[in-house]
Amino acid sequence: MRQVLVVQYSQTGQLDRLVESVCGPLSGQDDIRLDYLRVAPARPYPFPWPFLTFFGAFPETVHMQPEPLQPLDIDPDKRYDLVILAYQVWFLSPSRPISSFLASPEAARLLRDTPVVTLIGCRNMWLMAQEKMKARLSALGARLLDNIALTDECGTAASFLATPLWMFTGDRQPWKWVPRAGIADAEILAASRFGEAMRARLQADAQPLTEPMLRGLGAVRVDEKLIASERVGSRSFHLWGRLIRALGPQESVPRKIGLIVYVVFLVTLILTVVPLSALIKKLLSPLLRGKTRREKAYFAAPSGE
């Protein structure tokens, strides 16, 4: 009997639907047992988000500071043939509940010497979050076999408006003139192909999983125009996060003032640096084809585009 654990945290419910699609082919199999671990913070996050509460979560998120979780309903000493780790991206980092799980004693025991497939559902920028995830999994002794990353259907530019509106209203399309936020329904349904590939490998033999299972299936798409923007944004989040944390506790007045200053800075960054870096990247693209090709291959690994 193959043992598979699915670890997930979804705030909007979209990631739950993605998990259901991917894991559908694995369920109902006589020779595969699926266990689910739903991570939940001890103090639940609101949805939709109040404006300052949303941005107030960013300093601890980008610094991957653990928070208290509800008791984890899992036997940490059980050995699994595969762990599917599904997470959202918050501020170019794994969501704080998932980061907190990865910092727990249970995760240290569950993931040691265990093959892992990461499953991401996000707006469009996931590269730096996955870099943090890879570093944490490596520190825990886990073995990353594959990565799946599905992104919003409305595109990079439109998602700068559509996704925040979803977060603040709870409606994926609050007005008709706004593109619909989130991953396309058809793409979520098509994600079952990943589960089919994993099922085929799990049922092929009883040997440990050591090689990627999802190559050639379009598990990820790396937008080379966003690589530089992600790096700039990640450094900015790290520095601003450290500064805002130094201003005091989350509910303190100095911290709220710092957050307002940060939001103004962030909007300015999005309106100026992001398009400027994309333009520079486009102008230099003939000279950087080799480097871009290597970077895309690196970030697409281990599953590939």
* Of 187, 174, 176, 180, nearest in space to 158 by CA: 180
Residue written as tokens 């959202």?
88
**Per-residue pLDDT, 216:** 94
Best CA proximity match to 193, nearest among 20, 21, 3, 28:
21
C-alpha pair distances (Å), 223 with each of 14, 144, 151, 155, 204: 22, 22, 11, 11, 34
Q: d(Cα 15, Cα 195) in Å, to the nearest integer?
A: 15
What the block records as the tokens of 207 is: 């040997």
- Whether residue 110 lies inside any domain: the answer is yes
How far is the C-alpha of 119 from the C-alpha of 7, rounded, in Å? Answer: 10
Residue 21: inside a domain, yes or no?
yes
Same domain? 264 vs 149: no
Residues 93, 156, single domain; the answer is yes
Per-residue pLDDT, 159: 79
Q: Are 218 and 233 within one domain?
A: no
Strands (E) across the chain are located at 2-8, 32-38, 82-87, 89-90, 93-94, 115-122, 143-151
**202-223: pLDDT as tens digits:** 999 999 999 999 999 999 999 8
Q: Based on the structure, what is the number of domains in the chain? A: 2
Please tell me whether residues 135 and 262 are part of one structural domain.
Answer: no
Give a yes or no: residue 133 inside a domain.
yes
The answer to whether residues 66 and 93 touch, using CB atoms and an 8 Å cutoff, is no
Residue 249 has a pLDDT of: 84
Q: Specify whether the CB–CB gap between 179 and 12 falls below 8 A.
A: no
Rounded CA-CA distance 26/30 in Å is: 10
Residues 196 and 250 in one domain: no
For residue 269, what are the domain limits?
228-295
pLDDT at 227: 86
The verdict on residue 161 lying in a domain is yes
Please report whether residue 303 resides in a domain: no
Same domain, 162 and 253: no
Most confident of 25-39, 45-59, 171-185, 226-240: 25-39
Most confident of 53-67, 169-183, 257-271: 53-67
